[in-house]
Amino acid sequence: MLLKLIGSLLIMAASSFLGVYFSKECARRPRELRELQRLLQMFENEISFLSSTVTEAFIKLSGYYESNIRLFFSQAAEILMHKNGINASEAWEMAVKENIKKTALKKEDEAIVLSFGKMLGASDLEGQISNIRLTLTQLKMQEEKAEEEKEKNKTMYMNLGVLGGLAIVIILI
């Protein structure tokens, strides 16, 4: 009897943990989207007020946050520093494609992030700023969508975890 009790407690604990984990995961995507927006805003400041080069700005930006979003910037900067005849838009594409898996961003977010790179560094300041602004509005929309999704899924995962555990326990007993 005691063994059964311990076993069912363990199952309950594990499944609730899974539920909490997944509901936390839901919150990651909107958070990362917000962070990306903030980084892009800082990038705008870097190039318009300090007229830093793309590489300089990216190195600076990658020091600001701890999350995986910064990997886009740090890796792109690293590629550019090697000077292998790779320009900024190519470096950005490489860095994003390599690191997108480590973030919670979805395919549709990736498309926006990649299209940001197409113009990167290749125009005058106004062009750069309008490119950043466009990307920011698109990311804002994605963030709102992600936020809604998060609210929906968060409780669902939580409930699913606890109740699922309960169900397993009942079946096994």
Partner 1 sequence: MVTEDEEVKNEISFYNMLKEEIFNFLPLELKNILLKIDPKELETIEEIRLRAGKPLMLESCSGSWFVNQRGRLEKNCTNEKVVFQHEIIKAFELMSQNSIYAFLEDIRNGFITLKGGHRVGIAGRVVVEGGIVKNIKDMSALNIRVSKEVRGCSKKIMKYIVKNKNDIYSTLIVSPPQCGKTTMLRDIARNISNGIKSMSFNGIKVGIVDERSEIASCHKGIAQNDVGIRTDVLDGCPKAIGMTMMLRSMSPKVIITDEIGNSGDMEAVMQVINAGTRIIASAHGYNISELKTRKEVLGLIEQKAFERYIVLDNSQGPGTLKEVIDGITMKGVQQDAS
Binding site for partner 1 (CB under 8 A): 47, 51-55, 80, 83-85, 87-88, 91, 120-125, 127-128
Least distance from partner 1 to the Cβ atom of residue 117, Å: 11
Which residue, 35 or 44, is less far from partner 1 as judged by CB? 44
Three-state SS annotation for the chain = CHHHHHHHHHHHHHHHHHHHHHHHHHHHHHHHHHHHHHHHHHHHHHHHHCCCCHHHHHHHHCCCCCCCCHHHHHHHHHHHHCCCCCCHHHHHHHHHHHHHHHCCCCHHHHHHHHHHHHCCCCCCHHHHHHHHHHHHHHHHHHHHHHHHHHHHHHHHHHHHHHHHHHHHHHHHC
Which residue, 93 or 143, is less far from partner 1 as judged by CB? 93
Which residue, 122 or 156, is less far from partner 1 as judged by CB? 122
Which residue, 66 or 124, is less far from partner 1 as judged by CB? 124
Least distance from partner 1 to the Cβ atom of residue 52, Å: 7
Least distance from partner 1 to the Cβ atom of residue 86, Å: 8
Least distance from partner 1 to the Cβ atom of residue 113, Å: 17
